[in-house]
Amino acid sequence: MSARDRIERALTRLVTASATERLAISLAALFASILVGTVLILGAGRITECATATFVLTHPTPFGLPRLFELGFCYNPVTVYDRLFLGALGDPLSAGWDPFGRQMALTLRETTVLLFTGLGVAVAFRAGIFNIGAQGQLVVGSLASALAVLQVAPLVGGAPGTAVSLTVGLAVGALGGGLYAAIPGLLKAYADANEVITTIMLNFIATGVVGYLVLNHVKDPDSFATQTRTIPDHANFPTILFEPTANFSVIALAVGVVLVGVIYYLLAHTAFGYDVRTSGLQPEAAEYGGVDAKRTIVASFGLSGALAGIGGALYALMILGKFQTGVPSYGFDGITVSILAGNNPLGVGFAAFLFGILKSGAGVVNFATEVPPQLVATLRGLIILFVAMPEFFRLLGGRMKGVQRRLGRESDGGETDA
Amino acid sequence: MDRAVHLDGITKRFPGVVANDNVTLEVERGGVHALLGENGAGKTTLMNVLYGLYEPTEGRVVVDGTEREFDAPADAIDAGIGMIHQHFMLVDPMTVTENITLGNEPRKWGGLAVDRATAREEVQELSDRYGFAVDPDATIADVSVGVQQRVEILKALYRGADTLILDEPTAVLTPQEVDELFAVFEELTDAGKTIIFITHKLGEAMTAADDITVLRDGKGVATVPAAETTRESLAEMMVGREVLMDTSDRPHDPGAETLRVEGVSVTDDRGVPAVDDVSFSVREGEIFGIAGVDGNGQAELIEAITGLRDPSSGRIDFEGEDIGSWSRRDRIDAGMAYVPEDRHERGLVMEFDLTESGILGSQHGEPFTSNGRIDWDVARDHASNIVETYDVRPPDIGAKSAALSGGNQQKFIVGREFERDPSLFVAAHPTRGVDIGSTEFIHERLFALRDDGDGVLVVSSKLDEVQLLADRLAVIHDGTLMAVVDPDDVTEEELGLLMAGERPARQLESQRVDGGEP
């Protein structure tokens, strides 16, 4: 059996894997990434100098023989992974676990924002569009939302004020992100411009223009930072249930979970979703089926941007309480979240949670160990890479001729006739 | 018996499908052996096993008395097996000689350079030996499809093939070219070569083959000498029951024009004119056929009518209205059904299951969708109904469209389009790859549509099919309509000449192109 045969056989197996098998594969990949990461941690721990070794490996001495070696490592891989995962969840295995504690709140805060950007990218992917511009759409949505709430909040006070401000904030964030995403949508639909290029460029434009606007027109005069004035407290997302200093609102998470359901329903149960999926899978068939390709491109781009824009609104209204330049890369992480989830809206929830754990867990590791942040970032990257790879190979395998042949899809390919 | 090839008890399983089930094939050296069967019967799979493309799940492959295990086509070629696929694998801008010797070029200067002179000589010699009359210096793009096919055969011979497998070799040929191909078969067998050809056309198997092996549902039914069998018994073996050969009766009583095409020109994807100033009309209660060799503009013409391609000039009227500015969806909603030429690209979404593919084109309207929400229960009933009525196998509406064999995909599409209850039915190759039984059924439905007073436009390169179906028959060549003829008053030879762009001696244009009242 040739090497090519082996590869094709393995990919075929992967393509035909059931949902349970895929879950098992993901867990195995996670485990493998931890093994590789352990080797990295040990290696790095050997070449670093430290006063006391935190991890010591000794040769067992069963017959009272002298020890052959005793190796010390500066970093303890068990501690690192313990902090990364359990630390991020606020130590669920310890007796005094507080599921509403600060660390859990931080994890869920990251999860919430990534839920929106991931969902946005996934919607575009399903329509056959690669939206790399989620970051720019998030930035635009974030500023638009902050400015709108700064206008609205002083008008209505109290609990009604919170409701009105948040509704307006989310709506304006969605509108801002959606309109900004409509630009590459229109360019693709009517000028045949490749969306990968236009969205990358529009990311730079968004950051630049927003920075200019804040600095020159809406800057908080009392601050040295490039930021808007602070939004009144009653117009922020209320931090109920959870530790308030973590700036996490379970209401925002609830909105996210509802939207996951809405997007799932939209794709699976509406004519619009049918058009989107058909366009994404087979544009020629969509054209045959009477789908208006241009409209579908613009609409799915707009929807994608609106979701990223809501993520931006949360950044302003939940995390910061204002808009400030230097927005973290939620939009780019959203691309990875979406791929990790196989572009499935329901999967985005889980992928965003994994990302949230890794992001907040990294902070815990930095705090609890001497391991340098660069190494922690590498470990995170390894986990994402390993977990995403099986999905990647599934996508790849599904397109390979040899694999399709093995699946018997081409078994009648030669038999067209005249 | 001196056997060139012996496939012994071949079984080939794909996930969920048994494509070949214990098939035995014995091919006599120096003969022509036809592999006959409906689509999805497993003919191509069996030949792919012989050619090393598939590994058999069970069974032995014996070539020239030696048992072989082929890992790849290269091994099969070494064993003297050559295969000519239906879609030629030639490099258009290169010459005949370059194509034939590609990968096996004679070398000079210690292997550093291609010895073109020797290559040309060898090709010329090979061509002369079998009386092929192929110019070694011609560019592939400039020669006809028939010549290209001969180049493919020469390529296999150049690589030392003693046994040639041809997959549906006549699909792309005009009737004259088919005759020439069968003459080539004789030359080859006289020289001791063995030929296996795949077909589902009874007539061809009877004419060209010495022996015929019939496959059905992946199983070998029988091997019979062509001289000792009849069309009827072959058809019965293929289908598994008695088949009534279609007979045509034409209660031709057409009504008003439902489709009118006037001076329409269309360009293809590269911007090259593909259809040049074509005019015709289809009337209610009439089947209008367009015959022609594939690639003469019929695909572009159909796409212009159905709204997938903008004509560069001309006017198209549907039920008296100019539909030039109508979108594809407008045309679907107005009652235009369309069986597209390419079922993999257009007709079905391969990743969708049959329920989802079953509403393609109807996803926005009643009964499937109200207020933008799709009622999947209705869609499922719809798909079940198509699957049942049109005998789609496997009858599983949850199966992915890609999992069906080509013939069953076609039946599903045709069924879906019939179920639209159209007022104009446009069909490109409606029975392509469909078995005899279902072809019969599809033809009956087309006749029924016509008898109900709907217009039908059929494009096909199967002459017997368009001749049978059409009330009026146009022949297209190089983007223009050569003639509109009465299909009962024209011979296959005359049609072949028209399809090749030549005018037959007899005056045929008995009918006006626009089909106005006589």
d(CA A256, CA A111): 10
**Do A171 and A79 reside in the same domain of the chain?**
no
d(CA A285, CA B345): 6
Q: Is residue B507 predicted with pLDDT exceeding 80?
A: no
pLDDT one-digit tens code per residue, A217-252:
999 999 989 999 999 989 899 888 888 888 999 999
pLDDT one-digit tens code per residue, A273-294:
999 999 998 899 999 999 998 9
Identify whether the C-beta of residue A315 lies closer than 8 Å to the C-beta of residue A142: yes
Are the Cβ atoms of A416 and B168 closer than 8 angstroms?
Answer: yes
pLDDT, residue B246, reads: 52
In a domain, A405, yes or no: no
What would the DSSP string read from start to end of B328-341? HHHHHHTTEEEE-S
Among B201, B348, B364, the residue with its CB nearest the CB of A285 is B348
In a domain, A182, yes or no: yes
In a domain, A272, yes or no: yes
Confidence of residue A412 (pLDDT cuts 50, 70, 90): very low
pLDDT one-digit tens code per residue, B155-170:
999 988 999 999 888 8
Hey, how many other C-beta atoms are within 10 angstroms of the C-beta on B156? 22
In a domain, A62, yes or no: yes
In a domain, A381, yes or no: no
ipTM score of complex:
0.80
Last residue of one domain, picked from the residues A96, A120, A141: A96
Rounded to a whole number, what is the distance in Å from the CA of B431 to chain A's nearest CA? 9
Q: In this complex, is the C-beta atom of B327 within 8 Å of any C-beta atom belonging to chain A?
A: yes
**Do A138 and A186 reside in the same domain of the chain?**
yes
**Do A108 and A92 reside in the same domain of the chain?**
no
CA-nearest residue of chain A to B405?
Answer: A412
Supply the CATH number for residue A279's domain. Answer: 1.10.3470
CA atoms within 13 A on the CB side of B280: 26
Q: E-strand spans in B231-379? A: 257-267, 273-283, 286-291, 313-318, 321-322, 336-339, 369-370, 373-374
**Do A51 and A146 reside in the same domain of the chain?**
no
Helix (H, G, I), strand (E, B) or coil at B314: strand
**Do A119 and A66 reside in the same domain of the chain?**
no
Report the predicted TM-score, pTM, of the whole model to 2 decimal places. Answer: 0.76
Among A275, A406, A414, the residue with its CB nearest the CB of B44 is A414
Are the Cβ atoms of B373 and A271 closer than 8 angstroms?
Answer: yes
Q: Is residue A408 predicted with pLDDT exceeding 60?
A: no
Tokens in use for B366? Answer: 């009643």
B84 Cβ partners below 8 Å, 6+ apart? B149, B152, B153, B156, B164, B165, B166, B167, B169
Average pLDDT over every residue of A13-32 = 83
pLDDT one-digit tens code per residue, A352-405:
999 999 999 999 999 888 899 999 999 999 998 998 888 778 777 766 766 766
Phi, psi of A215 (to 5 degrees): -65, -40
Q: What is the CA radius of gyration of chain B?
A: 24
**Do A169 and A74 reside in the same domain of the chain?**
no
Q: Is residue B52 predicted with pLDDT exceeding 60?
A: yes
**Do A126 and A195 reside in the same domain of the chain?**
yes
pLDDT, residue A414, reads: 36
Q: Is residue A416 predicted with pLDDT exceeding 60?
A: no
Q: Which residue has the tokens 């088919």?
A: B178
CA-nearest residue of chain A to B174?
Answer: A418
**Do A115 and A79 reside in the same domain of the chain?**
no
Are the Cβ atoms of A285 and B338 closer than 8 angstroms?
Answer: no
Q: In this complex, is the C-beta atom of B69 within 8 Å of any C-beta atom belonging to chain A?
A: no
Among A2, A277, A290, the residue with its CB nearest the CB of B361 is A290
What percent of chain B shows pLDDT beyond 70? 94
Last residue of one domain, picked from the residues A368, A389, A413: A368
In a domain, A393, yes or no: no
- Which of 260-279 (B) contact A at CB < 8 A? none
Confidence of residue B514 (pLDDT cuts 50, 70, 90): very low
Phi, psi of A255 (to 5 degrees): -60, -40
**Torsion angle of C-alpha atoms A323, A327, A328, A330, degrees rounded to 10:** 80
Average pLDDT over every residue of A155-179 = 93
Confidence of residue A411 (pLDDT cuts 50, 70, 90): very low
A interface with B, Cβ–Cβ < 8 A, is 1-2, 5, 16, 269-272, 274-275, 277-278, 281-282, 284-285, 287-292, 405-409, 411-418
**Do A84 and A106 reside in the same domain of the chain?**
no
Q: In this complex, is the C-beta atom of B349 within 8 Å of any C-beta atom belonging to chain A?
A: yes
Poorest-pLDDT segment among A94-103, A112-121, B77-86: A94-103
In a domain, A188, yes or no: yes
In a domain, A275, yes or no: yes
pLDDT, residue A85, reads: 92
Give the domain extent around A123: 102-368
A-chain residues within 8 Å CB-CB of B328?
Answer: 287-288, 290
Poorest-pLDDT segment among A111-120, A176-185, A299-308, B463-472: B463-472
Q: Is residue B375 predicted with pLDDT exceeding 50?
A: yes
Poorest-pLDDT segment among A100-104, B175-179, B331-335, B384-388: B175-179
Identify the structural domains of chain B with CATH numbers, from first to last.
Answer: 3-239 (3.40.50.300), 255-335+424-433+455-518 (3.40.50.300), 339-421 (no CATH)
Confidence of residue A417 (pLDDT cuts 50, 70, 90): very low
Identify whether the C-beta of residue A410 lies closer than 8 Å to the C-beta of residue B53: no
**Do A246 and A353 reside in the same domain of the chain?**
yes
**Do A84 and A164 reside in the same domain of the chain?**
no
Which residue of B328, B369, B429 to mutate against A (max A Cβ within 10 Å)? B328
Are the Cβ atoms of B86 and A416 closer than 8 angstroms?
Answer: yes
Higher pLDDT, B5 or B513: B5
Identify whether the C-beta of residue A231 lies closer than 8 Å to the C-beta of residue A320: no
Q: Is the peptide bond before B394 cis (omega within 30 degrees of 0)?
A: yes
Confidence of residue B404 (pLDDT cuts 50, 70, 90): confident
A36 Cβ partners below 8 Å, 6+ apart? A382, A386
Among A269, A406, A415, the residue with its CB nearest the CB of B39 is A415
pLDDT, residue B16, reads: 66
Torsional class of B245: left (φ above 0), alpha (ψ -120 to 50), beta (otherwise): beta
Which residue of A126, A265, A409, A417 to mutate against B (max B Cβ within 10 Å)? A417
Task: Provide the number of structural domains found in chain A.
Answer: 2
pLDDT, residue B508, reads: 64
- Which of 76-95 (B) contact A at CB < 8 A? 85-86
Instruction: Write down the mean pLDDT value for chain A.
Output: 88
**Do A279 and A363 reside in the same domain of the chain?**
yes
A-chain residues within 8 Å CB-CB of B367?
Answer: none
A144 Cβ partners below 8 Å, 6+ apart? A172, A173, A175, A176, A177, A309, A312
Last residue of one domain, picked from the residues A75, A96, A117: A96
Average pLDDT over every residue of B63-82 = 89
Are the Cβ atoms of B171 and A416 closer than 8 angstroms?
Answer: yes
- Which of 202-241 (B) contact A at CB < 8 A? none
